Amino acid sequence: MIYSNLKKRLDIKNPFNAPVFYAESVSSTMDVSHDLERENAPHGTVVVADFQEKGRGRAGRLWRGRGGENLLFTVLLRFQGFSAIPIALSLRAGLAAASAVEDFAALFCGVGETRNLFCTVKWPNDLMLDSKKIAGILVESDGKSVFIGIGVNVGQTEFPAELREKAGSLALKIGSASALKSARFRLLELVLARLRRELTAKDWRERLLDRLYRRGEAARFIAGRADSGSVVEGVLSGVGEDGALLILPHGAEVPSVFVTGELDVY
């Protein structure tokens, strides 16, 4: 799909003052965003789709979802060079999305109801409600442009058997599936507003530590690639100044520092 073929724009607020393109179905919003980048689309250009044929997850996994139920988009960010890319950007995207999800859910609270959610960030950047993953974030970069792809399970209430234990959605948590689905682009506005501010925020680490999933608890971590076989068990103690994960292995006095890998905790 090429830029000029993306005819439909969503009429929503984009604080980056860039277009928000909508397509009913794409291969992946990541692919379209890469195309847009090559065609000189501006910083902050967004592509959102209701269905992806080949949605990408981290570590080469697929990201599947039912059409029109969830929020699936990629934001293109352009920087002068590698050193201008904000540190720990993928974690900060997670922080922005977590706050936006909470703001969005609050819009659906009835008078007198207390449905306020607390959305945590599972390192590196999954969003969790209780112990269910409700959103995934994939960040790709060529060292100058950054593509932040976010998939939030908004209105989906059924998941394939293999995901049922781990996946959740806003609808499963607070009900109102059809109202949530209809309002999904409002969530996009909220994420963009938070993301824009997050790019220059100085206090991201403190806020992240407050939201870090399973912080202070026992954790099992697969370092590096999923098939590395390098398993570390200890206490998830936090993240460093650069966003690296800190795990204090059982019996150790100094935390180990990890920049890639996956937590095996739910």
- Asked if residue 138 binds ligand BTN (CB under 6 A), the reply is yes
Q: How far is the CB of 234 from ligand BTN (least distance, A)?
A: 23
Q: How far is the CB of 149 from ligand BTN (least distance, A)?
A: 3
Binding part of the chain for ligand BTN, among 9-17, 68-76, 209-217, 252-260 by CB under 6 A, reads 68-76
- Asked if residue 30 binds ligand BTN (CB under 6 A), the reply is yes
- Asked if residue 188 binds ligand BTN (CB under 6 A), the reply is no
Of 16, 21, 22, 63, which lies in the binding site for ligand BTN, with binding defined by CB under 6 A? 63
- Asked if residue 28 binds ligand BTN (CB under 6 A), the reply is yes
Dihedral sign of CA atoms 19, 22, 27, 30 in order = positive
Binding part of the chain for ligand BTN, among 92-100, 132-140, 156-164, 169-177 by CB under 6 A, reads 132-140
- Asked if residue 86 binds ligand BTN (CB under 6 A), the reply is no
Q: How far is the CB of 158 from ligand BTN (least distance, A)?
A: 18
Of 57, 86, 240, 249, which lies in the binding site for ligand BTN, with binding defined by CB under 6 A? 57
Binding part of the chain for ligand BTN, among 56-64, 77-85, 233-241, 243-251 by CB under 6 A, reads 56-64
Number of residues that bind ligand BTN (CB under 6 A): 20
Query: Which residues lie near ligand BTN (CB under 6 A)?
Result: 28-30, 52, 55-58, 61, 63, 72-74, 126, 136-138, 149-151
